[in-house]
Amino acid sequence: MPIQILMPALSPTMTEGKLADWKKREGDPVAAGDVLCEIETDKATMEVEAVDEGVLGRIVVPGGTDNVAVNSVIALLLEEGEDAGALENLDVPALVKAAPVSVGESALPTPVNGQITDSVTRAAPTGAQGERVFASPLARRMASQNGLDLSRIDGSGPRGRVVRRDVEKALAEGTGRATAPAETSAAASSAPAPAAKAPTAADPVFALMPEFEALPNTNMRKTIATRLTESARDVPHFNVSVDVDLDALLALRTQLNDREGADYKLSVNDFIVKATALTLVKVPEANVAYTDDAILRFKRVDISVAVAVKGGLITPILKDAASKGLATLSAETRALAEKARAGKLQPEEYQGGTFTISNMGMFGVRSFNSILNPPQGGILSVGAGERRPVVKAGALGIATVMTLTLAVDHRCIDGATAARFVQDLKRLIEDPIGLML
């Protein structure tokens, strides 16, 4: 006999409430303490936790249902050993009606009714955050057949509805993937719950705060949120900083840029990219990614460069940066940044780098720490080159100094490797003629 899950009373006076959202789906295993669903009253939203363990057999009251009476059956839990057949003979509507009156032993095992059609339980597709995603039936089906998460696809139809062309575009561009393999159950249009849980705008906490404007999350914003949350939470970061003297590099830069007929204009960043790439060749232990089975050591250095764009950031890639000259790197960087800002980067232009450089020097930032760009093992944060007092040969002097901070994934890069990397990088920047070799 499946266990009946009843609409709880959140307060002694509560007689009915809104079943806001299911956090488990039919077929999901449930352990005691797992959050099953959210119930809303006019005062608060509360989570309903499972008391028993088993498999969520059937959701009787779908998410988003208003005025659900306290003690009515909202779902049926299959106990260990019970299979879905145990649900077949239950007259669910009768349960729903009967339940508020009494929930005795006589749970009316009337036959008939067979399976509930999928139209009841599959009312509306929801995104990772549980909000409804507006999509055409065809788009829904194509997304589910291809393991795409509709909430990660921008809709171009009426009022942002996701339509066929949007799914086709996502397929062509390789975007919109669900974060984990799609579930095999019939409710395939759902996406796995995200790792991070942020409050929704409807959260009562915001009611106490000043009036606000809700700016809907773009897909880029959702991607940033998901990836960086995973990175900050799951990857053990540590940072190593070093100050580098830039004067020799600046002199070389002036010399190169002033050459007659120069059709390039090298930036300090171009030198940092080149120096980083060469250092990664020299210290291949830092050009790596961690996996459960092995550390992957890449045979080429592809540098991702963080570029701020409207509504977020993206990291176009300078492929094989170590073997390219400064002028080439400079031109490529400029072209990629322009494409990024125009939103015209192709997936292969921003997916697959081995190491990231983030430069905030132009904003006068002295030093900062970055969150790793998974699955890469390292990211370099570049601060501003500024005139600072320094001690040289036992005397106080002035030099242009820049602080570089390397963040690494400790699972694949240890302290000694990180230190050696920044040491070699510093040496190369301070004696930049090495960049020309």
Partner 1 sequence: MGGTKFDLIVIGGGPGGYVAAIRAAQLGMRVGLVEREHLGGICLNWGCIPTKALLRSAEVYDHMKHAADFGLIARDFGFDLPKVVERSRKVAAQLSGGVKHLLKKNKVAVFDGHGALDGKGGVAVAGGPTLTAPHVVIATGARARHLPGLEPDGRFVWSYREALVPDIHPKRLLVIGSGAIGIEFASFFNSLGSEVTVAEVLPRVLPFEDEEISALAHKAFEKKGMTIRVGTRVAELRKGADEVVAVLDAGGETSEIIVDRVIAAVGVVPNVEDIGLEAAGVTLTDRGFIRVDGWLRASTEGIYAIGDVVGPPCLAHKASHEGVICVERIAGASDVHPLDADRIPACTYCRPQVASVGLSEARARERGRAVRVGRFPFLGNGKAIALGEPEGMVKTVFDADTGELLGAHMIGAEVTELIQGYGIAKSLETTEAELMHTVFPHPTLSEMMHESVLDAHGRAIHF
Q: Of residues 102, 119, 184, 255, which one binds partner 1 by CB under 8 A?
A: 119
Q: Closest Cα to residue 363, out of 311, 323, 308?
A: 308
The one catalytic residue in 161, 227, 334, 410 is 410
Directed axis angle between helix 164-173 and helix 137-145, to 10°?
20
* Shortest CB 96 distance to partner 1, Å: 23
Is 410 a known active-site residue?
Answer: yes
Residues 142-181 that bind partner 1 (CB under 8 A): 142, 145, 156-159, 163-165
Rg (CA), the chain: 28
Give 156 or 291: the residue with its C-beta nearer to partner 1: 156
> Residues 63-102 vs partner 1: string with x where CB under 8 A?
----------------------------------------
> Residues 349-378 vs partner 1: string with x where CB under 8 A?
------------------------------
Q: How far is CA 416 from CA 300, 376, 408, 413, 419, in A?
A: 22, 18, 12, 8, 5
* Shortest CB 357 distance to partner 1, Å: 38
121 binds partner 1 (CB under 8 A): no
Burial of 164 (0-12, 13-18, 19+ CB in 10 A): middle
Tell me if 150 sits within 8 A of 164, measured CB to CB: no
* Shortest CB 64 distance to partner 1, Å: 20
Give 32 or 138: the residue with its C-beta nearer to partner 1: 138
Give 159 or 310: the residue with its C-beta nearer to partner 1: 159
Neighbour tally for 358: CB within 10 Å: 22
Tell me if 150 sits within 8 A of 143, measured CB to CB: yes
Residues 128-147 that bind partner 1 (CB under 8 A): 136-139, 141-142, 145
Backbone dihedral angles phi then psi of residue 199, each to the nearest 5 degrees? -65, 155
Give 128 or 163: the residue with its C-beta nearer to partner 1: 163
Instruction: State whether the Cα torsion 260-264-265-270 is positive or negative.
Output: negative
Please name the residue that has the structure tokens 């914003």. 221
Contacts to partner 1 by CB under 8 A? 119, 136-139, 141-142, 145, 156-159, 163-165
Active-site positions read 410
